[in-house]
Amino acid sequence: MSGALNFRRLGAVARKEFIHVLRDPRALAIAIVLPMIMLMIFGYALTMDLDRVPLAVWDQSRTPQSRELISRFEGSRYFSVGARPGSYAEVEDALARGRTMMALVVPVEFGRRVASGRKVQVQVLTDGSDANTTTLALSYADAIVRGYSQEILVEKARRLTGRPPALPLDLRFRAWFNTDMESRIFIVPGLIAVIMMLITALLTSLTVAREWETGSMEQLISTPLLGSELILGKLAPYFVIGMVDMLLSVLAGRFLFGVPIRGSLALLFGVSAIYLVGALSLGILISTKAKSQLLASQFAFVATFLPAFLLSGFMFDIGNMPTALQAVTYLIPARYFVTFLRGLYLKGTGLAQLWPECLLMVAFGTLMLGLAIRSFKKRLA
Amino acid sequence: MPELAVTLRHLERRFGDFVAVNRISLDVRKGEIFGFLGPNGAGKSTTIRMLCGLLEPTSGQGTVAGYDILTEREEIKRGIGYMSQKFSLYDDLTVEENIDFFSGIYRVPPEKKAGRKAWVLDMAHLQEHRRTRTGLLPGGWKQRLSLGCALLHEPRVLFLDEPTSGVDPLSRRSFWDLIYQLAGEGVTVFVTTHYMEEAEYCDRLALIYRGELVALGTPSEMKGELMADQVLCVSCDRSHEALGVAAAVAGVRDAALFGRDIHLMTEDAAGLAPRLRQSLEAAGFQVDAVERITPSLEDVFVSLIEARDRAEGAQQEFRA
Amino acid sequence: MMETVRTQALTRRFGELVALDQLTLAVAEGEIFGLVGPDGAGKTTTMRLLTGILEPSSGEAWVDGLHAVREAEGIKDRIGYMAQRFGLYPDLTVQENIDFYADLYEVPKAGRSERLERLLAFSNLTPFRRRLAGNLSGGMKQKLGLACALIHTPRVLFLDEPTNGVDPVSRRDFWRILYQLQQERVTIFVSTAYLDEAERCNRIGLLHQGRLMACDTVEGVKGLLKGALLEVRCESPRRAAGVLRAAALGSVALFGDRIHVLAADADRGRAAVEAALQAGGIPVLGLQVIEPTLEDIFTSAIPEAAHA
């Protein structure tokens, strides 16, 4: 009788799984290349910095004052002045056709009223379809207009009093951790967490289901092999692949996206290993339940990617979610890994601050591995 | 002179250096049930594909249902029916829906559709189950339905690929009764299989091995004059141990256990029998019976193939 | 004699379907026992119940003295099982597959390579040891499956339709190996849908729709057929079969160029057949009493038993 874990059998399964992986170069290539591609696509696509918003300008005033205002827009890196419509109909048309995202309308009396120190309105029309971008763009436009109007005010006061006035409040702004406020530095660590979750669960979701599908499982369960030996043996090669993926992602983050790592590398890879075991076990758990490769991979995608993407705090700030949804996020392991990676990457924090996240990931890994082993039955339905 | 449904003359097909079918010539008469036997990879499916107009021969000629396999491939496709054990009926369609579907596929003319459908339902005894989902039918019924679907367009030549492997003997029996009936109506049936149980039902058999036609004849001819070896059946005690002794007797070509008996292949059964009994008794075995038995088709098959291997082996040695 | 496999009213249901109905049988040590029946008769279910990978709905079974449910894991050390579908890994070589199973069964390293060499030689796979299993022919795959199931020297071997889809020459080789194993006192429990193959077993059980219809030696089962089986060879056999059916001589079956007639009595049957064919103007080429095949038993004896 064989009740205890036998390392020879475990080793035999691991060796066999390694051979499967190595003899299928296409699958191996996908396992290595896919995370890189995802990192590239999402890394560049999700960068939230606003850059060169297309702006149409209808200058009805055609005065030095109006040209001054427009030149400030032209000088800003956030706007790119393109079309020059000559009527409201043309403005509307440009917005409707998506040729521009924003239009600035300077009224005829602008130059005259500014010169005489009277109040004047400029109009900004935007395509509000994308609320986030619009809000950001509007705030930049607002800043430019305010800056200009403040200068006019200051100039006026200097002319009256002979010296520049002291402004009542002066905001001095400095962002910590991400000094240049470049969002990729914020995005990339979170993205690594999401991608690792998806890739690893997808990899293992196929392994058990494949054996049921091809019929080799019936042969396996007729031997003394234990469920724990099978599951742990199957984890081994994918753990190695997962760690290689992790290393490549970190390297890509550092050298392609220029994201610095402030914290300890040993801690980074140590905790990643724990997280990987959890994600791989989740894949195996799905695989033992699905019994078909197609179903398993679809389920793994839905069960890992969506929550990791939407509820981990990677895309949307958890603090702004409805309370019920916030509660759900505690069940998403990617949430802890996202927090951990961001802390380690951006702030250089270590276990002293991040121990609760790490502990929860250990709990997740243990739970998933336990469930995967328990859910594997050496019986046919 | 009977009408010929299939004629093959020196039909050959090569794939690069590999000769898949090596200059096969044979005739199949109209209304005949012709069995085409051979191990996997012997060239059975390559030949069938050429006959059905799906693959062009490298050389040689042939006709199927009167059409030339080189120049009239489309006519052939319309004139033949094809059914295999894995025939693709849709399990989630009803019996009737499957028939309608295949009527469409085979382009049965609209005015004939109703009549053909009634014929299939009648032939397969499925009138009462026309609205039953096909997946729920027992294996033997499904098989009759797939036969019916292959016959919707009234083909003159019917190809059957291992039609009854794994089916229970009763269903197999009633299936073959249908086939005999069809053959009686003039349909030519061409069966490919490597199951001897199916081969037993054919009028005439061809054995193909390594692309070559090894033997051609009725099942009785195969077991009689075409079989080079004769088969002796020995019943004795401790047959496992006796096997070695029997195999060593001069004149025994091959000895194999068969249940508790030993089957021996020899060229001269009458001459061997007394010597064999003597040798076994001298070695201390109690021999109950030594008798010549009618070889099974499997015996014939194996004996012919091994004879061919020996001949080729000798040839290779000669060349070397 | 010691019983290696024993079942007592073993039953398995899948929902409404009774796949195996009250199977009771015993297999002696060193015996080759054949479970014979068409697809869907319950053969695979029986195999799975006995190998401890499927639980029975009711009834009990013992393999090599161990209970098939309570001691299922213990059974697994002592048996070799070859499932109906090829269960090995096509992307592993012949030797890697065998090594894998050797590790699973904890075959001691000492003496292992001798065992491996013997198995490879035994199954004629030695020249192919480095070939990927997926590139083997059907017959060689079956032999590799057998080698894997034998690496730990099991006491009982369960083979589920091992020669399905294998040509007659490879099939003969395969049986040659089974007979050699029998000499080493391995009990072999084999299932087959081919009645001619069943005749190679020491004892057989005929399974039909989940029920055991007969269980005896091949001769014993053939004895179930009451009467004599006549084989008639004549001109125009199809017409002759019609004539004989019309004469109501008993069950008439056409096999290509031969007709089988099951008569209550050999001599009277022979005379009746000759008379009927003569009346029909059909010359008789041959007429002899033959030994029934299992197929004859299935078509003649089983329907009666099934309806009884």
Tell me the pLDDT tens digit for each residue of A163-191.
777 766 665 555 555 555 567 777 888 88
> Is residue C70 within 8 angstroms of chain A, CB to CB?
no
> Is residue C6 within 8 angstroms of chain B, CB to CB?
no
Say if residue B139 is in the same domain as residue B272. no
For residue B261, is it within any domain?
Answer: yes
For residue A314, is it within any domain?
Answer: yes
Say if residue B15 is in the same domain as residue B33. yes
For residue B23, is it within any domain?
Answer: yes
Nearby residues of C307 by Cβ (< 8 Å), 6 or more positions away: none
- pLDDT number for residue C25: 95
> Is residue B136 within 8 angstroms of chain C, CB to CB?
no
Say if residue A233 is in the same domain as residue A357. yes
The pairing of beta strand C284-290 with beta strand C228-234: antiparallel
pLDDT band with cut points at 50, 70 and 90 for residue A3: low
Nearest to A379 among C53, C103, C105 (CB): C53
Q: Please check the confidence at residue C95 and state whether its pLDDT lies above 90.
A: yes
- Best mutation target, C103, C105, C130, to test chain A (most A CBs within 10 A): C103
Say if residue A156 is in the same domain as residue A188. no
Q: Percent of chain A at pLDDT above 70? A: 93
Q: Phi first, then psi: what are they for B100, rounded to 5°?
A: -60, -40
Q: Are C212 and C42 in contact (CB under 8 A)?
A: no
SS3 for B246-307, per residue? HHHCCCEEEEEEECCEEEEEECCHHHHHHHHHHHHHHCCCCEEEEEEECCCHHHHHHHHHHH
Number of domains in chain A: 2
Touch criterion met for A and C (3+ Cβ pairs within 8 Å) = yes
> Is residue C220 within 8 angstroms of chain A, CB to CB?
no
| Chain A neighbors of C81, CB-CB under 8 A | 219, 222
Say if residue A218 is in the same domain as residue A363. yes
Tell me the mean pLDDT in the region C212-221: 90
Residue A353 has a CB neighbour count (10 Å cut-off) of 14
Instruction: For residue B287, give the CATH number of its domain.
Output: 3.30.70.100
Q: How far is CA B97 from the centre of its chain?
A: 31
Tell me the mean pLDDT in the region C265-281: 91
What domain range includes position A12?
A: 7-47+182-375
Number of domains in chain B: 2
Q: Please check the confidence at residue C292 and state whether its pLDDT lies above 60.
A: yes
User: Cα-Cα-Cα-Cα dihedral of C184, C189, C190, C193, to 10°?
Assistant: 150
Nearest to B169 among C179, C200, C299 (CB): C299
- pLDDT number for residue C307: 47
Nearest to B203 among C176, C256, C303 (CB): C256
Residues shown for chain C: 308
| Chain A neighbors of C73, CB-CB under 8 A | 1-2, 224, 378
For residue B113, is it within any domain?
Answer: yes
For residue B311, is it within any domain?
Answer: no
Say if residue A135 is in the same domain as residue A16. no
Alpha-carbon radius of gyration of chain C: 23
Tens of pLDDT, residues A116-161: 878 888 888 888 777 777 877 888 888 888 888 888 888 888 888 7
What tokens appear for B270 in the block? Answer: 């009458």
Dist CA C40 CA B168 (whole Å): 9
The answer to whether the CB atoms of C76 and A20 lie below 8 A apart is: no
Nearest to B197 among C195, C200, C241 (CB): C195
For residue B314, is it within any domain?
Answer: no
For residue B287, is it within any domain?
Answer: yes
pTM of the model: 0.80
Angle between helices A265-290 and A333-342 (to 10 degrees): 160
**What is the ipTM for the molecules in this complex?**
0.84
Minimum distance, in Å, between the CA of residue A224 and any CA atom of chain C: 5
- pLDDT number for residue A175: 53
- pLDDT number for residue A187: 83
Say if residue A120 is in the same domain as residue A245. no
Q: Which of A161, A192, A214 is the last residue of a domain?
A: A161
Say if residue A79 is in the same domain as residue A34. no
Q: Which of B182, B205, B223 is the last residue of a domain?
A: B223
Q: Please check the confidence at residue A341 and state whether its pLDDT lies above 80.
A: yes
- pLDDT number for residue B319: 44
**Cα dihedral sign, C273-C274-C278-C282:** positive
Q: Is C74 exposed, middle or buried (0-12, 13-18, 19+ CB in 10 A)?
A: middle
Shortest CA distance to B304 belongs to which of B212, B241, B242?
Answer: B212
Q: Percent of chain C at pLDDT above 70? A: 97
> Is residue C76 within 8 angstroms of chain A, CB to CB?
yes
What's the DSSP call for residue A185? H
- pLDDT number for residue B200: 87
- pLDDT number for residue A348: 86
Q: What angle do CA B67, B68, B69 make, to 5 degrees?
A: 115
| Chain C neighbors of A215, CB-CB under 8 A | 83, 85-87
pLDDT band with cut points at 50, 70 and 90 for residue C103: very high
- pLDDT number for residue A49: 60
Q: Are C103 and C80 in contact (CB under 8 A)?
A: no
- pLDDT number for residue C306: 53
Instruction: For residue B140, give the CATH number of its domain.
Output: 3.40.50.300
For residue A1, is it within any domain?
Answer: no
Q: Are C234 and C283 in contact (CB under 8 A)?
A: yes
What domain range includes position B279?
A: 230-294
Dist CA B64 CA B46 (whole Å): 15
- Best mutation target, C20, C104, C106, C151, to test chain A (most A CBs within 10 A): C104
Nearest to C103 among A12, A214, A379 (CB): A12
Among 3.40.50.620, 3.40.50.300, 3.10.50.40, 3.30.420.40, name the CATH number for the domain at C3-222.
3.40.50.300
Q: Please check the confidence at residue A77 and state whether its pLDDT lies above 80.
A: no
- Best mutation target, C172, C211, C257, C259, to test chain B (most B CBs within 10 A): C257
Q: Phi first, then psi: what are they for C51, rounded to 5°?
A: -90, 5
Nearest to A16 among C51, C89, C105 (CB): C89
Q: How many helices (H) and strands (E) does chain B have?
A: 11, 14
CATH class label, C228-291: alpha beta
Q: What is the mean pLDDT of chain A?
A: 85
| Chain A neighbors of C76, CB-CB under 8 A | 222-224
**Cα dihedral sign, B178-B182-B185-B186:** negative
Where do the structural domains in chain C lie, given as residue ranges? 3-222, 228-291
The answer to whether the CB atoms of C218 and B306 lie below 8 A apart is: no
- pLDDT number for residue C53: 94
* Coil, helix or strand at residue A54: strand
- pLDDT number for residue A161: 79
> Is residue C179 within 8 angstroms of chain B, CB to CB?
yes
Say if residue B56 is in the same domain as residue B195. yes
Dist CA B121 CA C132 (whole Å): 48
For residue B307, is it within any domain?
Answer: no
The answer to whether the CB atoms of C54 and A2 lie below 8 A apart is: no
Nearest to C83 among A11, A218, A379 (CB): A218
For residue B144, is it within any domain?
Answer: yes
Q: Are C56 and C69 in contact (CB under 8 A)?
A: yes
Query: Each residue's pLDDT tens digit in chain B (320 positions)?
Result: 468 999 999 999 999 888 999 999 999 999 999 999 988 778 888 898 899 888 899 999 999 999 999 999 888 988 899 887 665 788 889 999 999 999 998 889 999 999 999 999 998 889 889 999 988 887 788 888 999 999 999 999 999 988 877 677 778 888 898 999 999 999 999 998 888 888 889 999 999 988 999 999 999 888 887 777 889 999 998 888 898 899 899 889 888 888 788 989 898 889 999 999 999 999 999 999 999 988 888 888 888 888 888 777 655 544 43
Tell me the mean pLDDT in the region A239-253: 93
- pLDDT number for residue B280: 93
Least confident of A41-45, C96-100, C155-159: A41-45
| Chain B neighbors of C299, CB-CB under 8 A | 169-170, 173
Say if residue B134 is in the same domain as residue B216. yes
Q: Are B22 and B12 in contact (CB under 8 A)?
A: yes
Q: What angle do CA A164, A165, A168 make, to 5 degrees?
A: 145
Q: Which chains touch C (3 or more CB pairs under 8 A)?
A: A, B
Say if residue A200 is in the same domain as residue A344. yes
Dist CA B271 CA C158 (whole Å): 41
Say if residue A43 is in the same domain as residue A131. no
Q: Is C125 exposed, middle or buried (0-12, 13-18, 19+ CB in 10 A)?
A: buried
Say if residue B241 is in the same domain as residue B105. no
End-to-end CA separation in angstroms for chain A: 24
- pLDDT number for residue B320: 39
Say if residue A127 is in the same domain as residue A208. no
Say if residue B86 is in the same domain as residue B170. yes
> Is residue B307 within 8 angstroms of chain C, CB to CB?
no
Dist CA C297 CA C276 (whole Å): 25
Instruction: For residue A117, give the CATH number of its domain.
Output: 3.40.1710.10
- pLDDT number for residue B85: 66
- pLDDT number for residue A16: 95
Touch criterion met for A and B (3+ Cβ pairs within 8 Å) = no
Q: Are C232 and C251 in contact (CB under 8 A)?
A: no
